[in-house]
Every structure is written in C-alpha cells, then in structure tokens.
Amino acid sequence: MGRQLTISCFRYNPNIPGDKPRMQDYKLEEHEGMTLFVALNEIREKQDPTLMFDFVCRAAICGSCAMLINGRPRLACKTMTSMLPSRFTVMPLPVFKLIGDLAVDTGTWFRDLQIRAEAWVHTNKKFDFNALEVRMENKTCEEIYDPEQCIECGCCVAACITANIRPDFIGATGINRVYRFLIDPRDERSNAEYYEVIGNEDGTFGCVGLMACDDLCPKDIPLQQNLAYVRRKMAAAGLKLDFKGVKTS
C-alpha cells in the first residue's frame, strides 16, 4: 500500500467562456517507481478526462511535460513522486501562452527564438552530395553536443525573473542556442554577425545572473559557463565594432 497523494492542480480553460482559474485536488495512491507523468495520466484515465497536460516521450527528450511542480519548473516525466511530499501543487509554466490547465504553448515562443537567434548553420559552402562529409574533431563534437542537449522544455525561461518581467528577453535557452553555433566551426558567421543577433539587452547583456536556469535545467546543461562564454565573446566583439549612428535631431 503506497502513500496517498494529493495533487493540487491548476485548472483553467481559457476557451470555455466564464471558466475561472482555480486549484483542484486529486487523490490517488502512489506506487513503486511512479513519476508525476504516470500520476497525471492515471488521473486523466480514471478520474478526470478533462485534465489537460502535454506529454510525448515520457523520457525527458521531448520537453513537453515541463510544469511548475511545487513551484519549481521541472519535467513531469523526470520527477519521481517519491521525491515529493504527499501533498504538492502542479501549475503550468509562466511566460508561455496558456492552452489550458497544465498545457502551455512553448512552440510559438521557441519558433520565434529560432528566427531571432538565426539558429542554423550559416555557410557559403556549396553542398556536394557525392563528397564525404567533412570530419569533425571528437573534442569539438563533444563540446557542441553539450549545449545541443537542450530539449526546449522552457524550464529555464519560466524560472528566469528577467524573462518573466521582460517579454523580449531571449532567455538562457536562446543564449545557449547561439553558443552552440558560436563554437561550431561549420558556421561561418563572424563575431560581428553574432553580435547583431544577440549583443543587446534582449540578448546576452540582458541576463542578470540569477542562475535559476543553471540550477533547474532538467538536462543539466552547464548554463553558467555557456552564458558567460557568450557574454565575454560578445563584449570583446562589440568593443571592436564600429556602428554608424543615425542623427535624429
């Protein structure tokens, strides 16, 4: 006989006219190896089919099931209920648009981020279908793999006070994304071009250094190091740049 869990769950469907945001309690019995993902599915199957939440992979790869668990952004599939008290709260991530209950739309936000950060390899090399791929040093490959692990769950954005109060801030995930291309030798962008993308208050210089991203990243990406690297690199690049101003008066 497992513990009796009480999950206090945020409920609100913006699509139902007149629906009011509220907290609703669900009770269920805990069993061996239960994750919050399993618990929520049990609730949806057996108690309340109207409960909305996102999931796809249940293995911390898709980044869909991020939510505030007892106030902290985490992945539901990577959170064992045994780590939590018998009564806890679940709420949707802030910053992102609420779809309903625990489900938020991270897609639109991240799509916009990809465009702003120009998150693709910029190269002028013509692709030759017949040639062998250019080999990459193992060390470089490992270095790129590190920031590349980002699953775009949005935990770092939700945990960031700056992202919460300044909607234009690109967040740790955005700076980390630029870092990924900065260290990729295939990307031919100059530092000045990267600076154009991220060398401003909405980018790397907007970070206050609260490090909730670093502490709460479900993939344990070393965000402190990556963010500081981008900041140093962009500061060095920016100091060398020459901008022509527009005289407005």
Partner 1 sequence: MELAKNLQTTINRSYGKTDLYVDLAQSISGVLLIGFLWMHMLFVATIVVSPDLFNRLSIGLDEYYLAQVGIPATILLIIIHIFLALRRAPVRLRDMRITYRMAKMMNHFDTWIWVGQVVSALFVGVMASIHLWIILGAWPLRAATSAMRVASTGPADHTWGGFAFPFFIVFYVIFLIAGEYHGGFGLYRILVKWGWWDRHTMGWVLKGITVVIVGLGIAALYTFTQIAANLPAGGVIQ
- Judged by the rule CB under 8 A, the positions of this chain that interact with partner 1 are 68, 71-73, 94, 109, 112, 115-116, 159, 161, 164-165, 167-168, 195-196, 199-202, 205-212, 214-216, 224-225, 227-228, 231-232, 234-235, 238-239, 241, 243-246, 248
Using CA atoms, how far apart are residues 4 and 86, in angstroms rounded to an integer?
Answer: 7
DSSP H/E element including 39:
helix 36-46
- What residues have CB less than 8 Å from 29, skipping those under 6 apart? 1, 2, 3, 4, 5
Q: Which CB atom, from 34 or from 95, has the smaller least distance to partner 1? A: 95
Least gap, CB of 167 to partner 1 (angstroms): 5
Q: Which CB atom, from 57 or from 99, has the smaller least distance to partner 1? A: 99
Helix axes 138-148, 171-182, angle to 10 degrees: 160
Tokens of 15: 């699509």
Q: Which CB atom, from 131 or from 165, has the smaller least distance to partner 1? A: 165
Using CA atoms, how far apart are residues 139 and 136, in angstroms rounded to an integer?
Answer: 8
CA angle 95, 157, 226 (to 5 degrees): 160
Q: Which CB atom, from 44 or from 238, has the smaller least distance to partner 1? A: 238
Least gap, CB of 73 to partner 1 (angstroms): 8
Q: Which CB atom, from 126 or from 244, has the smaller least distance to partner 1? A: 244
In 17-114 the beta strands, taken as DSSP E runs, fall at: 22-29, 66-69, 72-75, 87-91, 97-100, 103-105
Q: Which CB atom, from 34 or from 147, has the smaller least distance to partner 1? A: 147
In the chain the beta strands, taken as DSSP E runs, fall at: 4-11, 22-29, 66-69, 72-75, 87-91, 97-100, 103-105
Least gap, CB of 129 to partner 1 (angstroms): 35
Least gap, CB of 16 to partner 1 (angstroms): 25
CB atoms inside a 10 Å sphere around CB 126: 5
Least gap, CB of 237 to partner 1 (angstroms): 9
Q: Which CB atom, from 123 or from 190, has the smaller least distance to partner 1? A: 190
Least gap, CB of 229 to partner 1 (angstroms): 9
Least gap, CB of 32 to partner 1 (angstroms): 28
Task: Read off φ and ψ for residue 236, nearest 5 degrees.
Answer: -65, -40
Beta-strand pair 87-91/4-11: parallel
Query: What Rg value do the Cα atoms of the chain yield, rounded?
Result: 21
